Amino acid sequence: MSAFMSLFADLVAHLADLLDPLFHASATAAAIVLFTACVRLLVHPLSRAAARGQKARAKLNPQIAELRKKHAKNPEKLQKAVLELHRKEQVSPLSGCLPSLFQLPAFFLLYHLFSSSSIGGDANTLLDHTLFAAPLGGRWTDALAEGGVFGAQGLVYVGLFLLVAAVATFNYRRTKSQMAADPLPQGGDQQAQQVPGMGAITKVMPLMSFMTLFTVAVVPLAAALYVVTSTTWSAVERAVLYRDMPGTAGVLATAG
């Protein structure tokens, strides 16, 4: 693991050297943004597949509505019938999770790299690199201790929080609009039986984007920068891939 982390640290350092003429002291932060973009490009085929899967599931809604009527008094049969329909149409209810899962290793690499005081037995000099005034190895609590919310370091986090809040609000409105376009039927707890845990996920889903605010506040700034970049990319990507989904057009028009 130590040798692998050394290679990853060298990759980040080399990217920073390439970007130094443009970004100077913030070149390492720019390298992390570039690294995040490369990861997202690699994951993009999965995101496109997830979009196709969600559109395919949306086309099944009339058939699922018929199954709800047919098995209105038997949730167990409804669950089996819906899962069988998904299997027959080769649609996975959980395919949308794959892009997020495949990004986790990259996030944890950055988290570990900027949480370690040494790499391969040598001092981790990347910790001293900054995004404007804030060290990439620091956390929000460190910034607060240095100058408070509106100190030089604190303002970096204020900017990140504002960006995350804007993206989360856009995602919240988009998700709520899509859910309104395809509302739960009366007795909506029956839909929760389609896939175990799906009812709880459906209730929490519109608010999940706001959890990124907590993540940015507690992880090293380098990892927070990865999260913010990836979340922003995801919002734009989903707006494009799902632009013809019910409820999406209204959100995009309002946001524009």
- 104-161: pLDDT as tens digits: 999 999 999 999 999 888 899 999 899 999 999 999 999 999 999 999 999 999 999 9
Beta bridge partners of 118: 123
| Side chain identity at residue 71, one-letter code | H
Q: What is the pTM of this model?
A: 0.79
| Side chain identity at residue 229, one-letter code | T
Does residue 89 have a pLDDT over 80? no
What ranges do the domains of the chain cover?
A: 2-255
Q: Would you give the DSSP letter of residue 130?
A: E
d(CA 137, CA 123): 13
More confident residue, 156 or 80: 156
- 178-209: pLDDT as tens digits: 666 554 444 444 444 444 445 555 566 667 77
Count, in order, helices (H) and strands (E) of the chain: 11, 4
Does residue 99 have a pLDDT over 80? no
Do residues 95 and 42 touch, judged by C-beta distance below 8 A?
no
Does residue 6 have a pLDDT over 80? yes
